[in-house]
Amino acid sequence: MSRATWIVGLLSLATGCVDTSIQATSVDLSVAGTDARAPFEGRRGATITLSRADVAFGPVYLCAGYTAGELCDEALAEWRDAAVVDALSAAPTSLGAMVALTGTAHSYMFDYGIVSLLTSDAPLVTAAAESLGPASAVVEGVADVEGQSIPFTVRVRVEQSADVEQGVPVVRSGEDDGFEHPIAPDGGSRLLVRFDPRAWLAMADFAALVEDATCAPGLDVACAGPIEQRCAADGSVAETRDCAALGGACVRDLGCVERLELGSDDQVGRALRIGLEAGARPELVFE
């Protein structure tokens, strides 16, 4: 049973009939990204060019209370599915109708395809997240930093931490967000959720991936800019390769790489996860 239906049923029990001032309705839900394929500036002089930014979005709830959370028992609208959003496409895509009640929504909450459950310690991984790896987001592009171009793929899961009450979505708005939108009867409301993937990487430190160093005792590899140096046991340089000439980049601790694969435990991955969970929120446009 949906939360919206549960509320209607509760009103029926309490009054003997449904309050006619509250009507069942729906909200047309659409998602879109931002045309962000042009290079943009990152931290410490890095220039980032994105070629892919897919995110699993949903489920999503609109709440009557000013602070979302604790299962949003006063949900006015809900969409319990999840879908992959191309966050580099500005064209809106319809996800269908949210089950809703008339009233005013003052907060919202949603997940990135991985859902915390009350009935299980293991989260529910939706089909949308499964299709990404499983993951909540996959971002690909090139980071130009200190004269090197580093092709990268970063894949992260965004899920509720163990120290938060189970069953609560990852992203929850608060009273300071100023979200206040009436839900019209007869399906007269539309909600567009727009993502900007540039904001996800605001704290990503690609400059930390490169170095201008030389071999030393205890090192296996050192990068002198784009030049990979394989180190001998005594700290001398045993052999070198020009990573740029090979079509790649020299990455700290790794040497030459054609494409850097990053996850939730890497600095860039952690920055992406934090950007999704606690950084700039998507724009919610309500009509």
pLDDT at 118: 84
Q: Is the pTM of this model over 0.75?
A: yes
Residue 233 in domain: no
- CA 68 to mean position of chain CA atoms: 19
**CA-to-CA dists, residue 20 to 60, 74, 133, 188, angstroms:** 26, 17, 46, 17
92-140 pLDDT tens trace: 999 999 999 999 999 999 999 999 998 888 999 999 999 999 999 999 9
pLDDT at 71: 54
User: Which residues of the chain are modeled with pLDDT < 70?
Assistant: 1-20, 70-71
| Rounded CA separation 78/5 (Å) | 11
The answer to whether 106 touches 65, Cβ cutoff 8 Å, is yes
Residue 151 in domain: yes
The answer to whether 31 touches 113, Cβ cutoff 8 Å, is no
Q: List the one residue out of 2, 178, 21, 179 whose CA is nearest residue 74.
A: 2
The answer to whether 281 touches 171, Cβ cutoff 8 Å, is yes
**Beta-sheet pairing, 24-32 with 189-194:** parallel
Overall domain count for the chain: 1
Dihedral sign (CA 75, 76, 80, 83): negative
pLDDT at 11: 39
**CA-to-CA dists, residue 149 to 12, 212, 245, 251, 256, angstroms:** 63, 15, 12, 10, 12
Residue 240 in domain: no
Q: What secondary structure letter does DSSP report for 280?
A: S
Provide the residue count of the chain.
287
pLDDT at 12: 40
The answer to whether 38 touches 50, Cβ cutoff 8 Å, is no
| Rounded CA separation 96/186 (Å) | 15
The answer to whether 19 touches 11, Cβ cutoff 8 Å, is yes
Residue 272 in domain: yes
**Beta bridge pairs of residue 154:** 139, 262
| Rounded CA separation 262/268 (Å) | 7
| Rounded CA separation 109/69 (Å) | 7
Residue 276 in domain: yes
Place of tokens 């310690």: 121
| Rounded CA separation 109/207 (Å) | 34
| Rounded CA separation 184/227 (Å) | 62
| Rounded CA separation 146/151 (Å) | 14
Domain boundaries, position 67:
3-210+252-286
Residue 232 in domain: no
Cis geometry, peptide bond prior to residue 134 (ω within 30 degrees of 0): yes
pLDDT at 70: 64
**CA-to-CA dists, residue 228 to 20, 156, 211, angstroms:** 73, 28, 10
